[in-house]
Structure 1
Amino acid sequence: MVEALDRGVSEGPDGLFEVRAVRVMRDLREAFLGLIEGLPRSATGSASRSVTRAADLEKALGVSRTLGWQLHRLATTPDPLEAGLHVPGSAAVGQALRGARSAGVGDERVARAARAMEAFEALVAEHAGDRAAFNTMIGSLAGAEVESIDLRTRREAFRVHSRVWGVQVKTFVACGVVHPGKDAEHDDMVFIRGMRDARWLRQGVPLQISGYRLVDSESRPMHPSEGAGEPFAPGSALLREFCSPDLPEIETRVEDGNRFAFFRDAPLGNAGVTTVYLADVMRDVRWRPTDGTAPSHVRSVSILKPISMLVMDALIHRDTFRARRTSARVLGSLSRLGERDPGAFDEGDVLPVQPEFRHCGRGAGVLGTAHVPRYREMVESVLGRLGWDPDAFDLYRCTLEYPLLSTTVEVRFDDLERGGA
């Protein structure tokens, strides 16, 4: 028997989506649970075992493994709203009902399931218009651990935006490295960023290679270090060994503390496919606020072009800081399109997309990624020019396929403590 989850919204006007959805989904779940309970033991091929598993349903109803799993989840998920995410399509339900009747389920149980499915379809048509919109609505109410903006939706958005804006990027890389600075209150940083296989689909379209703004713990803008001793001069920080041999002309500029680099034009299609990486060094970045508030290290990438894969790395030196809490999330709001400052968003702007984020370990051996050829070699080259030991860094990696345009992917290191481990 399923232990039902009390949603607390079963009373109220039928016109309210939340109320009607709970009622309809409870009826649908109970109807299909009754259908399953009406299957004879012999339907599983064993007189000693009742239908309790998805595999049993697959065999008893003569349906596919996927449909058997969907029906089992629909009937046994305690939360009626979350159960709404597992409702099969109408044709598949019709197949299951015919299979149930053939297996010996009583006519009343089959008819009840059919009526409940009709009520579900009416709910979708009236309140959502189609199943994709319904799943987004129901997922936001259920709070289910599902990615409401799924991979297929994001892939379709990537394709559409590629056609609209006339450019696309296979992989965008953003790697931030934190190294001990001149004293215990300051760090040095290097930022490696760029694109693998950028492609133009329309002539004359400018393509932003990168754009970033760095502030210290007091929210003061930081600028790349300059001078004869710096290996990466601003504006000429190309890592040419790892770039395409014939790069289009690059334009750099600074606006409101943001540093941008652009390609202005390139040959169309595969003839103009371009890979480019840059690096900048920041010196003497204060890591801890002077007012005593808990320090944090926040990295973010604003998605301002169609990208197939985002790779965000944070390399943290063992002698800088440790974080008690780490997290990654995607931020976006219609009222803040193009916003580059993650601090401008609030909790209501967190989108239902979960990047993959993990601590990969320490040392050069964990740097490699299939998404970026020669990535380990490139990072080691940059650190070597700075005299930094790649084996002294912990790697935290965040990846996201088809990040949505005009969103911000944020990685946070909170409640920092100074000192290595």
Structure 2
Amino acid sequence: MNQTKTAQLVEDTRKALQGVRGALIELYASIDADPSTPQETARRFSLNRNLTWKVSKVLNGADAFATLNHLPGQQGLEMVIGAMQKAGAPAHVVDQARAAISQFVEVVDRHAGGREHLELTLESMGLFEREGGLESGRELAFRGNSMVWGVQAKTRVGLGILAPSTRTPGANDLALIAGLIGFRRLRPSVSWRLFRSQFHDDKGHDIKAPEELEEKAPGDHPQILREFCSSNMPPLEFRETPDGREYVLPGGPVGNLAAFDCFYGYVMRGLPNRAGPNDEFGSVAAALTLPVEGLIFDMLFHRDAMPAKAPEVLVYGFPHGGPDDPSQQTVRNLLPISHVPVELAGSPPAVATPLVPRYSQLVNRIYERMGWRAEDFVGMRVHMRFPPMSSRVVLRWPLA
């Protein structure tokens, strides 16, 4: 969009908004309705109070663009016009209001194709500021990061399953799964690290490498759960780095037709089930390294490995990169995101969700692989919409 067209978008939108406001003010005045008393307007004209409150904010607002936060849709505005027409508003005033709304809709369609994109465009110019809470801010961050980095995914999956060790008395075994549902590139040149596996105790010390969850065919990368990955998943690059084992997607096709699901997982054997010098807590974590619409993070406990205290949810930010092992998870980088795990119904836990296809089948396969009985487990879930990128969501519980 060149400078002339940008200026035209701004001017046309401002003019159309002022036209709607002016026509509605005339409509209210024609039948002695007071826009500063939305409750009275709702009662008098049998309208929804929320609707008349929004119109009141539009008519009394000081800035045309700011009124976009409250301007009802075309259907809502027609309800107001119809009610006032029925109450005796003059025909020419009613026609003027409908014409102004039609003009605004035409401007939106011509310049932006939709209200949401118009608001995003004005916001990027510093002409419009959305009113909303933390959730909407995280959603905007998802959209912005998707555009900047050129990748996104529908769902980030994290799953931990903990049970008494079958090989080491007095210890626990832990199966860990990570997944991305609906990963897609938005630019063909983008190369992206899908996963990085690291193995540390509370103090950040390396611990022994894990074992595989499935048998590997020749040429398969370690820990990739091929059975649950999409058939169209492109070849990944596998790298051993000082910071851990990395799985990288090279550049390639964009959009929905090239979207795919990917899972990897492993087993950690002989983990401590009691506190020690280097292990005060048990924990599992889901790293958010790309923009995702949602996080499904489940922790399933064998009844004989249940912690005495329910796990807490902590979200740590790593805006400057660097190590993200447990020793780096401090109060200084704890994000103010409050979340409480929800108990999964039943035993075995009911894990099925439309956000993760074949999820129950995946969990059952882990039970089978580990020789565990599904009915011995209980579980909890963290479901977070638009979790922040460059963060780590941790489920943590104190060891006895």
**Alignment TM class, shorter chain as reference:** 0.5 to 0.7
Cα drift, residue 89 of structure 1: 7.5
Decide whether the 8 Å contact of 2:237 with 2:249 is kept in 1.
yes
Decide whether the 8 Å contact of 2:315 with 2:392 is kept in 1.
yes
Decide whether the 8 Å contact of 2:211 with 2:266 is kept in 1.
no
C-alpha distance in structure 2 between counterparts of 1:188 and 1:207, whole Å: 31
Structure 2 alignment gaps of length 5 or more: 1-37, 68-125
1:303 aligns with 2:288: yes
Pick which of 246-255 and 347-356 moved more: 347-356
Question: What residue in structure 2 maps to residue 328 of structure 1?
Answer: 313
C-alpha distance in structure 1 between counterparts of 2:153 and 2:181, whole Å: 7
Percent identity between matched residues is 26
Question: What residue in structure 2 maps to residue 45 of structure 1?
Answer: none
Query: Which residue identity does 1:155 align to in structure 2?
Result: E
1:169 aligns with 2:138: no
Question: What residue in structure 1 maps to residue 31 of structure 2?
Answer: none
Choose from 185, 188, 206 the match for 2:191.
206
Question: What residue in structure 2 maps to residue 406 of structure 1?
Answer: 390
Decide whether the 8 Å contact of 2:232 with 2:258 is kept in 1.
no
Choose from 292, 303, 324 the match for 1:340.
324
Cα drift, residue 306 of structure 1: 1.0
Decide whether the 8 Å contact of 2:204 with 2:325 is kept in 1.
no
* Structural RMSD (CA): 3.6
SS of the residue corresponding to residue 376 of structure 1 reads helix
The residue correspondences of 1:250-329 to structure 2 (distance < 5 A) are: 250-291=236-277, 295-329=280-314
The residue correspondences of 1:27-106 to structure 2 (distance < 5 A) are: 59=43, 65-66=49-50, 91=60
Decide whether the 8 Å contact of 1:364 with 1:380 is kept in 2.
no
C-alpha distance in structure 1 between counterparts of 2:264 and 2:318, whole Å: 30
Query: Which residue identity does 1:373 align to in structure 2?
Result: P
C-alpha deviations, 1:67-88, integer Å up to 9, x for none?
8999xxxxxxxxxxxxxxxxx7
The residue correspondences of 1:150-161 to structure 2 (distance < 5 A) are: 150-161=134-145
Change (3 A) 1:264 1:358: same
Choose from 347, 350, 359 the match for 1:363.
347
C-alpha distance in structure 2 between counterparts of 1:154 and 1:193, whole Å: 22
Change (3 A) 1:55 1:195: same
Decide whether the 8 Å contact of 1:213 with 1:258 is kept in 2.
yes
Query: Which residue identity does 2:230 align to in structure 1?
Result: S
Query: Which residue identity does 1:387 align to in structure 2?
Result: G
C-alpha distance in structure 1 between counterparts of 2:205 and 2:279, whole Å: 17
Structure 1 alignment gaps of length 5 or more: 1-53, 71-87, 96-128, 136-147
Cα drift, residue 156 of structure 1: 1.6
Change (3 A) 1:89 1:289: farther
Query: Which residue identity does 1:91 align to in structure 2?
Result: N
Choose from 360, 378, 386 the match for 1:394.
378
Change (3 A) 1:248 1:151: same
Decide whether the 8 Å contact of 2:243 with 2:323 is kept in 1.
no
The residue correspondences of 1:169-248 to structure 2 (distance < 5 A) are: 169-181=153-165, 182-216=167-201, 219-226=204-211, 231=214, 235-248=221-234
C-alpha deviations, 1:107-154, integer Å up to 9, x for none?
xxxxxxxxxxxxxxxxxxxxxx99969x8xxxxxxxxxxxx8522222
SS of the residue corresponding to residue 351 of structure 1 reads coil
Change (3 A) 1:368 1:150: same
SS of the residue corresponding to residue 304 of structure 2 reads coil
C-alpha distance in structure 2 between counterparts of 1:225 and 1:351, whole Å: 30
Cα drift, residue 198 of structure 1: 0.7
Query: Which residue identity does 2:199 align to in structure 1?
Result: L
Decide whether the 8 Å contact of 2:318 with 2:324 is kept in 1.
no
Number of residues paired by the alignment? 297
Decide whether the 8 Å contact of 1:208 with 1:262 is kept in 2.
yes
C-alpha distance in structure 1 between counterparts of 2:181 and 2:238, whole Å: 19
Decide whether the 8 Å contact of 1:237 with 1:280 is kept in 2.
yes
C-alpha distance in structure 2 between counterparts of 1:303 and 1:401, whole Å: 12
Change (3 A) 1:327 1:69: farther
C-alpha distance in structure 2 between counterparts of 1:165 and 1:294, whole Å: 37
SS of the residue corresponding to residue 311 of structure 2 reads strand
SS of the residue corresponding to residue 231 of structure 2 reads coil
C-alpha distance in structure 1 between counterparts of 2:297 and 2:157, whole Å: 6
